[in-house]
């Protein structure tokens, strides 16, 4: 990574999110830089999706703020956050099922301000990049689950985002599909000059993919650091990875996915 202070940065500053009496996030600080892959991990209910919802404008934080390159974006509606360069995928796939794969991606590019022709060419490039060119005319509702996830990521990138937030992209994928996804995700920050935040319970994927990890538990940051630091952190092992350690935790199937 180069560029030092000039790098695009998304900063979460002391964000607290309350739902009535429930405090889903408590004074969370986090930074995401262009060119890096940050893993956001923690047990179910620890506030990971809530944090992504706050960053993307679906929720306004109760306290604290989100800043992109010096501009406060928290409190803005989602479409204005998107215009500030922040794109996401959802924990459950949300494509326009009656539109073709190409149309889904094109639409995202058009909504980001590209003209029709540029949007089409961007969609073609992205389909090529992600190995889904042969699916261009397929109705998105007819795709296999693993393909849907890839289309969702291509669609998010079609907005020309500076920051890409992926909420459990490997959930529901088999080992082979997860491996293919990992290969496709690796090069994104460099190729698209963006910062990528990824939430997932697949510790093997997370540890191999991410430059840095941020760990939440009950809405609070309990650790942040490199994969090696996190793997050996006793607080993280206690709260999330389990006493057997990261290797076993990574190998164990997740049984606690929400539906």
Ligand X SMILES: Nc1ncnc2c1ncn2[C@@H]1O[C@H](COP(=O)(O)OP(=O)(O)O)[C@@H](O)[C@H]1O
214, 217, 250: which is closest to 229 by C-alpha?
Answer: 214
C-alpha to C-alpha distances, 116 to 103, 109, 137, 157, nearest whole angstrom:
11, 9, 17, 16
Cβ 17 to Mg ion shortest distance, Å:
13
Based on the number of CB atoms within 10 Å of its own CB, is 165 exposed (0-12), middle (13-18) or buried (19 or more)?
buried
Q: Which is nearer to Mg ion, 14 or 92 (CB)?
A: 92
Beta bridge partners of 40: 199, 214
Residue 84: phi and psi, rounded to 5, are: -80, 0
Residue 257 engages ligand X in binding (rule: CB under 6 A): no
C-alpha to C-alpha distances, 204 to 32, 61, 144, 172, 247, nearest whole angstrom:
21, 32, 23, 15, 8
Residue 19 engages ligand X in binding (rule: CB under 6 A): yes
Residue 61 engages ligand X in binding (rule: CB under 6 A): no
Q: How many residues bind to ligand X according to rule CB under 6 A?
A: 11
**In angstroms, rounded to a whole number, what is the distance separating the alpha carbons of residues 218 and 104?**
36
Tokens of 172: 């529901």
**In angstroms, rounded to a whole number, what is the distance separating the alpha carbons of residues 101 and 154?**
10
Closest residue to Mg ion, judged by C-beta, is 49
Beta bridge partners of 39: 198, 213
Residues 116-155 that bind ligand X (CB under 6 A): none
Beta bridge partners of 225: 213
Residue 42 engages ligand X in binding (rule: CB under 6 A): yes
Residue 47 engages ligand X in binding (rule: CB under 6 A): yes
Residue 46 engages ligand X in binding (rule: CB under 6 A): yes
**In angstroms, rounded to a whole number, what is the distance separating the alpha carbons of residues 68 and 98?**
34
Cβ 245 to ligand X shortest distance, Å:
22
Residue 82 engages ligand X in binding (rule: CB under 6 A): no
Residues 154-183 that bind ligand X (CB under 6 A): none
* 78 three-state secondary structure: helix
Kindly tell me which residue out of 13, 16, 45, 179 binds ligand X, with binding defined by CB under 6 A.
Answer: 45
Cβ 169 to Mg ion shortest distance, Å:
12
Q: Which is nearer to ligand X, 151 or 199 (CB)?
A: 199
Q: Which is nearer to ligand X, 106 or 168 (CB)?
A: 168
Cβ 54 to ligand X shortest distance, Å:
9
Cβ 88 to ligand X shortest distance, Å:
13
Cβ 50 to ligand X shortest distance, Å:
3
Q: Which is nearer to Mg ion, 248 or 258 (CB)?
A: 258
Binding site for ligand X (CB under 6 A): 19, 22, 24, 42, 44-50
């Amino acid at each position: 990574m180069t560029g030092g202070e000039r790098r695009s940065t998304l900063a979460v500053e002391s964000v607290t999110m309350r739902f009535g009496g429930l405090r889903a996030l408590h004074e969370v600080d986090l930074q995401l830089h262009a060119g890096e892959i940050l893993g956001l991990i923690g047990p179910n209910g620890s506030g990971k999706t809530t944090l992504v919802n706050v960053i993307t404008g679906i929720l306004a934080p109760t306290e604290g703020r989100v800043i992109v390159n010096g501009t406060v974006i928290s409190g803005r509606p989602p479409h204005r956050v998107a215009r500030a360069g922040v794109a996401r995928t959802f924990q459950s796939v949300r494509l326009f099922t009656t539109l073709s794969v190409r149309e889904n991606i094109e639409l995202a590019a058009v909504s980001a301000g590209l003209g029709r022709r540029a949007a089409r060419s961007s969609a073609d490039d992205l389909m090529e990049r992600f190995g889904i060119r042969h699916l261009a005319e397929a109705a998105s509702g007819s795709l296999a689950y693993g393909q849907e996830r890839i289309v969702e990521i291509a669609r998010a990138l079609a907005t020309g985002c500076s920051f890409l937030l992926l909420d459990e992209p490997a959930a529901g994928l088999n080992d082979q599909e997860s491996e293919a996804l990992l290969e496709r995700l690796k090069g994104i920050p460099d190729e698209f000059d963006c910062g990528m935040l990824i939430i997932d319970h697949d510790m093997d994927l997370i540890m191999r993919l991410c430059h840095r990890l941020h760990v939440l538990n009950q809405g609070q940051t309990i650790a942040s650091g490199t994969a090696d630091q996190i793997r050996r952190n006793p607080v993280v092992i206690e709260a999330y990875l389990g006493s057997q350690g990261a290797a076993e935790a990574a190998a164990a199937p997740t049984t606690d996915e929400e539906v």
